[in-house]
Amino acid sequence: MPTTRRVVIAVFPDVDLLDVTGPAEVFALANRETGGRAGYQVQLAGRSRGEVTTSAGVRLVTDLCFAEVTEVTGVLDTLLVPGAVDLHPGGPVARIDRDVVAWVRTAAPQARRVASVCAGAHLLAAAGLLDGRTATTHWSTAAQLAADHPAVTVDPDPIFIRSGQVWTGAGISACMDLTLALVADDLGEEIALAVARQLVMYLKRQGGQSQFSVPLSRPPASRRDIDELRMFIADHLDGDLSAAALAARMCLSERHFARVFRQETGTSPAAYVEATRVEAARRLLESTDHPLDQVAAGCGLGSVETLHRALRKQIGTTPAAYRRRFRTTTT
């Protein structure tokens, strides 16, 4: 008989829909990929049994009320807390649902692990679960989390962070990456990657990867040809991406190209190319055991010396130190 892994997801009015359904779908696909051997049983819990309207207007139906979660039979394996935000003139503000906070404070000690998605980290923090830990959340509410909870070390950059048996994830689609990491922790990387393929995800991102890829961290250019060039750069990192070569591709003089590129992207061609190559190097360091010379060649940085210099400049660490921190071991 498969081991039952009981996953309880908190829901409350205006909860972010994908924060709930995204993880649920990942767990369901893990069950399918293993022929049911994964044993995930997902339940929704709320203040009471019945319908809950999400931020998208779609209604969910809870299986249990909060008080029933620890009363029913079956070990509570994973407690997952999604988030919600209220929109204010100064930007989004994480909503603190006091009923959820009180329940999490009571239920968390009975769970094998606890995870938050997006602004759900604010609920874990309010329950005291993040004190003394490093945590992440959606970039738009990270400053609020740090201000409200000075005992928490807030890192707004990673997609997810694991601190012991407490996991925190960044916003929106990062809920899928966090849940894939939970599956990998339970069943191994092979199953997690199989689920990622079923989801048609571009790749299974590791926790150390930034919430923003280099192309996404800058707004779309007003010129379509510059946006197309940015995609070309990402697809040809091991090629000649010098300013002269890129200018020739754009049929512009090198000086005029540099001026247009900076105007559209806010940075120089050389700085943009280096940042994109460093991002690719980070992915290789996180997800492979390739020697550093292969990593440097694969991302277009050329030499180990250049790789060291670029990582120190961009993220303040060495390739070896970065790999030790963020490498996910394949089971």
Q: Which positions are annotated as active-site residues?
A: 118
Please say whether the dihedral angle defined by the alpha carbons of residues 311, 203, 211 and 271, taken in this order, is positive or negative: positive
Collapse the DSSP code of 207 into the 3-class scheme (helix H, G, I; strand E, B; otherwise coil) and give the result.
Answer: coil
Quote the DSSP letter at residue 164. Answer: T
Distance CA 131, CA 150 (A): 8
Distance CA 311, CA 313 (A): 5
Q: How many Cβ atoms are within 10 Å of 16's Cβ, its own excluded?
A: 24
| CA dihedral of 149, 212, 310, 152, whole degrees rounded to 10 | 10
The overall longest dimension of the chain from CA atoms, in Å, is 72
| CA dihedral of 242, 244, 250, 255, whole degrees rounded to 10 | 120
